Each structure stands twice: as C-alpha cells, then as structure tokens.
C-alpha cells in the first residue's frame, strides 16, 4: 500500500461529467490498495466569473485582496464538495477538506500567500480511517484564521507541499498533456515523451517556454525532494517522472527543446558605458513589472554601447514608455527602439555540464539550415538563442534532430 497524492486541474474538473471521471480515476487508485489524497482546482471558468462579479461590485476601485481570497477560495470549495459527493455516491468513503481544514498555514500575503506550515494530523487520521481525502488546492489560512490563496499554480503547490508534509510515496499531477515532451509535439511531430527529468531541467524548460507547471511548485518539490509525475487525466499512459538528478541522467546531453514565440527585442543605443547605466535601464523597466529576459550588451566602442533585452511583444510599448524618461541620464544621443517578430529557442540538459561543445553544435546546425541567430544567452544547463519568429518551427525541428531527441 502506497500513499499517493493526486492533483486534478480546472479543466479536468470543468464539468459535472468530468468530475465523475475524476472520481472514477481516484476510486481506481484506491481500489489498487493505495491511500489517496486528491487535490482539486476550481472548475474551469469559475474563477473568471468570480473575478467578474468582484469587478462589478467594486466599480472603479480594485477589490481588496483579503476579500478576493475569501471569494476565490469558494471555487475550490465547490469542487471538493462535488468530487467527494460523487465518490460517496459510488459507495466510496471520501471526505472533503478546505485548505484551512487540512491545516495548510500560510503567511498573510493575500492572493499570493506562501505556505509556512502544514499540520497534517487531521489528514492522516482521515486516511487511517479508510477515507479518500479530497483537498482544495490553491488555498490556506493564516495562523489567525484568515483565508488566503496561493496565486498562480497554487493547486500544484498544494499537492506537492501536502505530499511532502504527509511523506507521500508519489505525487501525480494530472493535466491535459501526457507529460513533458522533448519539444512541443505540435511543432516537432516526432517529439517524444520524457520518462524522467531532473527538477533543474524542468525549471529551465519552464522558464523558457515549456508550460507544464509553474516554476514555484517545481522549486518547492526540489527543496523538499518530492518526486512527482506529470501525466494525463485523459488516458492511463505513464507520464514524466520529475526527481532529483541521477548519474544516468547526465548521459543525455540535451533533455529537451523549448520555444517561446511573440518576443520582441528592445534596444537602447548610444548609452555611455558607465557604471549605473544598466541599473537605470532595468530599474525603470522593472518598476513597470515588465518581465525582462535575455540581456545583451554590445562591446563598447569609444565609451558608447548598445544594450538589448527581450520582452513579450505586448510589453514593448510599456517598456519604451518606461525608458524614455531615463534616456537623458544614459547618454547625449541615447535612443530606444524595438523590433518584434522574434522568438526564443532553448536547449536544456544537465548533461551539458560534462559535455563541451554543445553551443558550437547548436550554432552550426542552425547555420547549416540557414537560420540566423541574433542574441545568445547561456546558463549552466541551458543555451538560448533568438531567431526570427517565422523560422522558429524550423529551428526547433533542426535542434530536435541535431541532438537526436527523437531516438531518445
């Protein structure tokens, strides 16, 4: 008998019929002799409806975050009750728990609270008593009883944190894909599902466009050593196991290829190459909460340089507006300009650490295919380049083939 934590997202529980399907799946796991804690999200669409109501009652003003949490947490509470009663109607012993009832304590930062402590005694008691526990994702309470929510990806976090707290044997994240792929199969048809991946590789893939899970949950799992499996709620295929890295993982140089479209390059030219220039630029941009990615500074000629960075193309206007007021401080003829229609291509793999020449191989393959690279940035286990957005699919296919990922 194992102790298994499962997590089902908003799409998996999006209709009454799907809730019944999820209940069947939970029941099948229980029937195999396991103890089950199932974390569920709000039914898809519910959260948006609640936000709309909040907007309607507050008019011009922003809804207060304390009350937003009270409001949004009803979404998961609805799902836990429906899932538990579906299981009950199948003859199973199941009880629902809100985040607060399950002992999930957080700090008081409403709408993006951090889990500070989990007291799982109640969960253990219910499990030992033969119950399936249906737990509301995304929510917790402060030590003095206020309702909080965990922000984006909060239900994944609930599952992983609860798996850590109750020392579960396995945590299964059910989603609408079969697992983590070597590349997006819509782009590279022979992309393969990855059987095992390290936390760090998944983190780098997530940060470079492979949207399987929020980095925050993966980081939490890494910190507490929670193994988890990303798998589909639509079939019974095994998924991708995410875990600490092993020696054997290093034999694979590249684990996967990520791509991110709709990027733009913002360039500030005529910048005096003086200490403080970069901090002025990125200070101004970050104040607008714009996510900046690859940053490249040209070699300085006669004390004047260009600084470029990538942003999502929707953020270009905001970034330019934020930069205009500081241009005068950067240099006499400093100017800001932008170019969109670019995309980012990343290769990720912990094997890179012990294999040299990965960058050279990457650049050669792209060059052989006639694909021009503009910006380059590297981390210990990732190399990212920008290419024309029109060539990104071709570039991904070339990378996938060059590193033999289809044969993996």
Q: Report in angstroms how near the CB of residue 77 gets to a copy of itself at its nearest.
A: 5
* Interaction mask 105-144, a copy of itself, x per CB under 8 A: -----------------x----------------------
Pick the closer one to a copy of itself by CB: 75 or 209: 75
Smallest separation, CB 74 to a copy of itself (Å): 4
Give me the least distance between CB of 119 and a copy of itself, in Å please: 12
Q: Which is nearer to a copy of itself, 74 or 297 (CB)?
A: 74
Q: How far is the CB of 337 from a copy of itself (least distance, A)?
A: 40
Among 35, 73, 277, 308, contact with a copy of itself (rule: CB under 8 A): 73
Report the site for a copy of itself in 16-45 (rule: CB under 8 A): 16-17, 19-20, 23
End-to-end CA distance of the chain: 33
- The yes or no reply on residue 11 touching a copy of itself (CB under 8 A) is no
Taking the least distance from each CB to a copy of itself, the nearer of 83 and 207 is 83
d(CA 136, CA 148): 12
Region of 94-102, 304-312, 335-343, 349-357 interacting with a copy of itself (CB under 8 A): 94-102
Q: Toward a copy of itself, which CB reaches closer, 77 or 308? A: 77
Closer CB to a copy of itself, residue 69 or residue 361? 69
Q: How far is the CB of 128 from a copy of itself (least distance, A)?
A: 16
Residues 287-346 contacting a copy of itself, CB under 8 A: none
**Near a copy of itself by CB under 8 A: residue from 40, 50, 264, 343:** 50
**What element of type H or E holds 307?**
strand 304-312
How far apart are the C-alpha atoms of 72 and 95, rounded to whole Å? 21
CA angle 144–145–149, rounded 5-degree value: 120
Task: Report d(CA 159, CA 283) in Å as an integer.
Answer: 36
Q: Which of 3, 51, 81, 326 binds a copy of itself (CB under 8 A)?
A: 81
Give, as ranges, the residues between 351 and 390 that touch a copy of itself (CB under 8 A). none
Q: Does 64 bind a copy of itself (CB under 8 A)?
A: yes
Nearest CA-CA partner of 8 in 23, 31, 49? 23
| Residue listed under structure tokens 């990806």 | 153
- Quickly list H helices, 149-231: 154-165, 199-207, 215-224
* Sign of the torsion angle spanned by Cα atoms 246, 250, 252, 253: positive
CB of 174 to a copy of itself, least distance (A): 18
Q: Does 12 bind a copy of itself (CB under 8 A)?
A: no
4 near a copy of itself, judged by CB under 8 A: no
SS3 assignment, position 245: coil
- Say whether residue 67 binds a copy of itself (CB under 8 A): yes
Q: How far apart are CA 46 and CA 71, in angstroms?
A: 11
Q: Please tell me the distance from the alpha carbon of residue 263 to that of residue 173, in angstroms, as a whole number.
A: 29
162 part of the interface to a copy of itself, by CB under 8 A: no
- 95 to each of 7, 63, 92, 126, 129, how far by Cα in Å? 16, 32, 10, 8, 11
Looking only at the bridges linking them, the beta strands covering 139-141 and 147-149 are antiparallel
For 223-254, letters b (16+ CB in 10 Å) and e give eeebbbbbbbbeeeeebbbbbebeeebbebbb
Q: Which of these ranges, 58-66, 179-187, 225-233, 315-323, lies near a copy of itself under the rule CB under 8 A? A: 58-66
Count of positions (residues) in the chain: 408
Distance CA 205, CA 342 (A): 19
Instruction: Specify the residue, 117 or 300, whose C-beta has the smaller distance to a copy of itself.
Output: 117
Output the smallest distance, CB 94 to a copy of itself, in A. Answer: 8
Find the binding residues for a copy of itself in span 201-220 (CB under 8 A): none
Angstrom distances, CA of residue 172 to CA of 75, 156, 184, 228, 372: 22, 10, 21, 6, 41
How far apart are alpha carbons 3 and 1 in whole angstroms?
7
**78, 232, 267, 377: which one contacts a copy of itself (CB under 8 A)?**
78
- The contact set with a copy of itself (CB under 8 A) reads 16-17, 19-20, 23, 50, 53-54, 56-64, 66-68, 70-71, 73-74, 77-78, 80-86, 88-89, 95-96, 98, 101, 122, 145, 147
């Amino acid at each position: 008998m194992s102790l298994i934590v499962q997590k089902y997202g908003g799409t998996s529980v999006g209709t009454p019929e799907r809730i019944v399907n999820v209940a069947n799946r939970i029941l099948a796991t229980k029937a195999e002799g396991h103890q089950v804690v199932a974390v569920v999200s709000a039914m898809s669409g519910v959260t948006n409806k609640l936000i709309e109501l909040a907007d309607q009652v507050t008019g011009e003003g922003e809804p207060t975050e304390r009350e937003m949490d009270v409001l949004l947490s009803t979404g998961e509470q609805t799902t836990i009750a429906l899932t538990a009663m579906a299981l009950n109607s199948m003859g199973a012993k199941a009880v629902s728990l809100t985040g607060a009832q399950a002992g999930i304590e957080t700090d008081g930062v409403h709408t993006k609270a951090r889990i500070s402590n989990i007291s799982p005694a109640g969960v253990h008691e219910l499990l030992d008593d033969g119950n399936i526990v249906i737990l509301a994702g995304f929510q917790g309470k402060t030590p003095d009883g206020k309702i909080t929510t965990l922000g984006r990806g909060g239900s994944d976090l609930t599952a992983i944190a609860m798996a850590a707290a109750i020392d579960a044997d396995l945590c299964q994240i059910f989603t609408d894909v079969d697992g983590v792929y070597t590349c997006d199969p819509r782009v590279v048809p022979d992309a393969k599902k990855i059987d095992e991946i390290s936390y760090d590789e998944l983190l780098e893939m997530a940060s470079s466009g492979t949207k399987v899970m929020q980095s925050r949950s993966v980081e939490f799992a890494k910190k507490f050593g929670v193994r988890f499996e990303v798998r589909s709620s639509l079939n019974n295929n095994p998924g991708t196991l995410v875990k600490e890295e092993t020696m054997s993982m290093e034999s694979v140089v590249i684990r996967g290829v990520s791509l991110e479209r709709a990027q733009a390059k913002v360039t500030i030219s005529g910048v005096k190459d003086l200490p403080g220039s970069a901090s002025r630029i990125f200070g101004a941009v970050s104040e607008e909460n714009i996510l900046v990615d690859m940053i490249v500074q040209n070699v300085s000629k006669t004390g004047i340089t260009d600084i470029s960075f990538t942003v999502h193309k929707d953020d270009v206007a905001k970034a330019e507006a934020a930069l205009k007021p500081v241009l005068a401080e950067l240099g006499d003829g400093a100017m800001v300009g932008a170019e969109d229609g670019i995309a980012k291509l990343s290769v990720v793999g912990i094997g890179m650490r012990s294999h040299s020449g990965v960058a050279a191989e990457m650049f050669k393959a792209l060059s052989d295919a006639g694909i021009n690279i503009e910006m380059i940035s590297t981390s210990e286990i990732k190399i990212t380049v920008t290419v024309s957005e029109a060539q990104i699919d071709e570039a991904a296919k070339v990378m996938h083939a060059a590193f033999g990922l289809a044969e993996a």
